[in-house]
Amino acid sequence: MPTSEDQPDGHPETEPPRLSDAASKAAAAARMRDQTKWVDLQVQQSIQRGEFDNLPGAGKPIKNLDRDHDPDWWVKQLVEREQIVVLPPSVQLRKDDAELDDLLDTQTTEDGARAIVEEFNERVIAARYGAPEGPPLITMPRDVEATLAAWRERRTARLEATRAEVRRKESRRKRWWRR
């Protein structure tokens, strides 16, 4: 027999024996039977070890089992589980406009607040010049300087309130030590 260069010396190159169609189908069926026996054996051993005890959802009905097949079931479950909200751009901008002051109040620097206002204005202008989707866009861009002036006032008021609280706590501590 000829030897291959890929095979080590002394090992002849052999091809697997070719089976007829009927024989190959019978062999495949035997493998499937053996595989299902193996899986059943693994499940039975796991049950005996108690690996299926106290699983979450045990004894509860399977959710949405009575509904008709929906090809987008996984998308709907993802949206529900992750609480994803997809709004038309005009409605999203209204919501962002209502929450903008609270978002600005989390910023500690004027540069950070300015960047947020400018990014918001860019999105409003892009939505105004784009094709309308959903309800009409009534949100207007914010005046950057006026918005930042209001942010500065709120920030100063918060800092003063924090300082007053610290002074009040310090005065309580001093009185306690004086007793």
- How far is 40 from 59, CA to CA, in rounded Å? 22
* Overall average pLDDT of the 89-103 stretch: 92
In the predicted model, is pLDDT for residue 9 greater than 60?
no
Domain enclosing residue 141, as ranges: 72-162
Number of domains forming the structure of the chain: 1
Whether 94 maps to a domain, the answer reads yes
Whether 142 maps to a domain, the answer reads yes
Mean pLDDT score of the chain, rounded to an integer? 84
pTM: 0.51
81 closest CA partner among 59, 55, 63: 63
User: What tokens appear for 7 in the block?
Assistant: 């095979």
- How far is 172 from 166, CA to CA, in rounded Å? 10
Whether 47 maps to a domain, the answer reads no
- How far is 3 from 13, CA to CA, in rounded Å? 6
Give the tens place of pLDDT for each residue, 116-134.
Answer: 999 999 999 999 888 888 8
Whether 112 maps to a domain, the answer reads yes
Q: How confident is the model at residue 26 (pLDDT cuts 50, 70, 90)?
A: confident
Cβ atoms of 107 and 120 within 8 Å: the answer is no
* Overall average pLDDT of the 20-27 stretch: 83
